[in-house]
């Protein structure tokens, strides 16, 4: 199987960033998320370099929803990253990590009054998703005696090749304002005393393994920019949304790079803005492609059994990685302590959750397995821990970060008392 540079097989074991996964599983226990900080930084720099080489005013905003660990946000903040935040919680994380408020964008299709108030207070730009929200934000800004800069989220009505649950710019999607209604929305914003419209935002979907949909979206965006410019709006930024999909199927999926993205999208962007006579910043908001392949989820085989097929029952399930159950997502799996052994047997790798859909991988050729073996689930860094739960009252596992030859916890594992920590005893039960 093709592996990215930070993963390697040595002496029969899987290594990540020079660290033996089997030794990490022994030291920290399983299940365990292990992330290479170096890889995340490398991917961020790849975006900055590819875009920056073609256009001087570029901002890369990390989509914090993909993996909200402060250690990762901090590493990215130190390199000048901003963030797409989708909740007060994500805003809190981004600020705590040291990201500059001017490099943050508060997105969301259903912001709470509290979200709007916090964005105003912290002077964070907001992507507005409806006229109702626009007027609520205007009122919140007025109450605080401030002016809030906004963009609108464009729904470009684009069909994209990805799972329907993560296509976000379909005409029928819940996100954004139909592209034909966008000029009217900006007109409305110009009438709001405490709102300053300065940007344009879109997001067409995630895990897209084709550059063309991004090119189409860019065309829509610069077309709208032209209308807005002729209305007298001065656009400070155009945000083209999330990043590329990643090759979850290592041997058959296409490998798209930020360079491929920039080479196709930036010329369309430049031609469009030159036609308007403007020079806004170009923003992108990658999540998955920055963090997905940086991380493996290590899980131990509890038992194996042959029923109608061969099962390896492991200690991580959709409580820790919901993507296979939720989107029928494919993740490569490797027997981390038998990585050199002949894959002879088809195994379905199942988690400890009381649901038939709790399968991490279905019918994969692996070496003969036994209780105690360590399975590494690859590409688990995006929407992995971030979407975890305590379902079946299983404490969430720890997360380990590696930089160079340094290894440290970036989140401790939860304990059984963390399960009950937020529960209250109703007075009549005292």
DSSP line for 336-399: TTSTTS---EEEEEE-SSSSTT-EEEEEEEE----TT-EEEEPS-SSSSGGG---GGGPPPPPE
Active site residue 354: yes
Q: How far is the CB of 213 from ligand LLP (least distance, A)?
A: 12
Residue number with the smallest Cβ distance to ligand LLP: 242
Which CB, 241 or 280, lies closer to ligand LLP? 241
- Map residues 280-319 to x or -, x wherever contact with ligand LLP holds by CB under 6 A: -----xxxxx------------------------------
Least Å distance between CB 105 and ligand LLP?
8
DSSP β-ladder status, 125-128 and 104-106 = parallel
Q: Are 224 and 272 in contact (CB under 8 A)?
A: no
Widest distance between CA atoms in the chain: 71
* Radius of gyration in angstroms for the set of CA atoms belonging to the chain, rounded to a whole number: 23
The pair of structure tokens assigned to 71 is 């250690």
Q: Are strands 237-239 and 13-16 parallel, antiparallel or unpaired?
A: unpaired
Residue 362 tokens read as 């279905």
Q: Chain-centre distance of CA 203, in angstroms?
A: 13
To ligand LLP, the closest distance from the beta carbon of 350 in angstroms equals 20
Is residue 64 a contact residue for ligand LLP (CB under 6 A)?
A: no
- What does the block give as tokens for 389? 């739960």
Identify which of 317, 342, 339, 277 has the alpha carbon closest to the alpha carbon of residue 397: 317
Cβ nearer to ligand LLP, comparing 288 with 394: 288
Pattern of binders to ligand LLP over 201-240, x per CB under 6 A? --x--xx---------------------------------
Token pair listed for 178: 């139909």
Please give the backbone phi and psi of residue 213, each rounded to the nearest 5 degrees, phi first: -60, -35
CA nearest neighbour of 163 among 208, 217, 109: 208
Could you write out the DSSP letters of every residue in 1-18? Answer: ----TTEEEETTEEEETT
Q: Is 243 in the site for ligand LLP (CB under 6 A)?
A: yes
Q: List the alpha helices (DSSP H) in 179-257.
A: 182-190, 212-230
Interface pick for ligand LLP out of 58, 116, 166, 376 (rule CB under 6 A): 166
Question: Which helix (H) or strand (E) covers residue 310, if one does?
Answer: strand 310-314
Rank residues 57 and 174 by Cβ distance to ligand LLP and give the closer one: 174
Residue ranges in 361-390 that form contacts with ligand LLP under rule CB under 6 A: 382-383
Pairing relation of β-strands 406-411 and 195-202?
unpaired
Out of 107, 148, 294, 295, point to the residue binding ligand LLP (CB under 6 A).
107
Binding piece for ligand LLP, criterion CB under 6 A, among 5-13, 241-249, 256-264, 417-425: 241-249
Our finding on whether 327 is near ligand LLP (CB under 6 A) is yes
Binding mask 3-42 toward ligand LLP (x if CB under 6 A, else -) reads ----------------------------------------
Distance (Å, whole) CA 33 – CA 376: 10
Among 14, 25, 63, 233, binds ligand LLP (CB under 6 A): 63
Q: Which CB, 24 or 297, lies closer to ligand LLP?
A: 297
Report how far residue 195's alpha carbon sits from residue 178's, in angstroms, rounded to the nearest whole number.
21
| CB of 323 or CB of 364, closer to ligand LLP | 323
Say how many residues touch ligand LLP, by CB under 6 A: 21
Q: Which is nearer to ligand LLP, 285 or 399 (CB)?
A: 285
Q: Residue 206 gets which letter from DSSP?
A: S
**Residues linked to residue 314 through DSSP beta bridges, in sequence order:** 301
Catalytic-role residue among 21, 276, 354, 397 = 354
Q: Nearer Cβ to ligand LLP, position 142 or 391?
A: 391
**Smallest separation, CB 130 to ligand LLP (Å):** 15
Pick between residue 13 and residue 331 the one whose CB is nearest to ligand LLP: 331
Binding site for ligand LLP (CB under 6 A): 63, 66, 84, 107, 166, 168, 203, 206-207, 241-243, 285-289, 323, 327, 382-383
Residues labelled catalytic: 354
């Amino acid at each position: 199987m093709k592996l990215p540079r930070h993963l390697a097989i040595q002496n029969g074991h899987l290594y990540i960033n020079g660290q033996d996964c089997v030794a990490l599983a022994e030291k920290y226990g399983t299940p365990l998320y292990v992330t290479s900080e170096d890889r995340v930084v490398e991917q961020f720099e790849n975006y900055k370099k590819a875009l920056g080489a073609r256009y001087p005013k570029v901002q890369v905003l990390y989509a914090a929803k993909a993996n909200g660990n402060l250690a990762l946000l901090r590493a990215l903040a130190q390199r000048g990253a901003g963030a797409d935040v989708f909740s007060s919680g994500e805003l809190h994380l981004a600020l705590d990590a040291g990201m500059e408020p001017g490099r943050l964008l508060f997105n969301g299709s259903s912001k709470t009054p509290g979200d709007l108030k916090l964005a105003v207070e912290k002077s964070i730009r907001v992507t507005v998703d409806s006229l109702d929200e626009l007027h609520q934000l205007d009122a919140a800004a007025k109450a605080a005696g401030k002016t809030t800069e906004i963009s609108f989220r464009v729904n470009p009505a684009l069909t994209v090749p990805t799972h329907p649950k993560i296509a976000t710019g379909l005409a029928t999607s819940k996100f954004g304002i139909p592209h034909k209604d966008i000029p009217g929305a900006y007109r409305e914003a110009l009438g709001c005393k405490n709102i300053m419209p300065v940007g344009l935002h879109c997001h067409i979907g995630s895990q897209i393994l084709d550059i063309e949909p991004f090119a189409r979206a860019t065309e829509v965006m610069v077309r709208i920019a032209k209308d807005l410019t002729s209305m007298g709006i001065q656009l400070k930024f155009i945000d083209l949304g999330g990043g590329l999909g990643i090759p979850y199927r290592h041997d058959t999926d296409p490998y798209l790079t930020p360079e491929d993205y920039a080479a196709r999208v930036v010329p369309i962007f430049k031609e469009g803005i030159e036609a308007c006579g403007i020079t806004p910043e170009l923003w992108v908001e990658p999540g998955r492609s920055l963090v997905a392949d940086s991380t493996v989820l290590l899980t131990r085989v509890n038992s194996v059994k042959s029923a109608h097929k061969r099962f390896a029952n492991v200690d991580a399930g959709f409580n820790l990685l919901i993507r296979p159950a939720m989107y029928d997502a494919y993740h490569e799996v490797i027997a981390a302590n038998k990585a050199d052994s002949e894959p002879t047997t088809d195994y379905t790798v199942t988690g400890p959750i009381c649901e038939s859909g709790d399968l991490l991988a279905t019918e994969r050729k692996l070496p003969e397995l036994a209780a105690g073996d360590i399975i590494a689930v690859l590409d688990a860094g995006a929407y992995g821990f971030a979407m975890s739960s305590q379902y079946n009252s299983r404490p969430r596992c720890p997360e380990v970060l590696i930089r160079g030859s340094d290894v440290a916890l970036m989140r401790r594992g939860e304990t059984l008392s963390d399960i009950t920590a937020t529960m209250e005893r109703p007075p009549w039960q005292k």
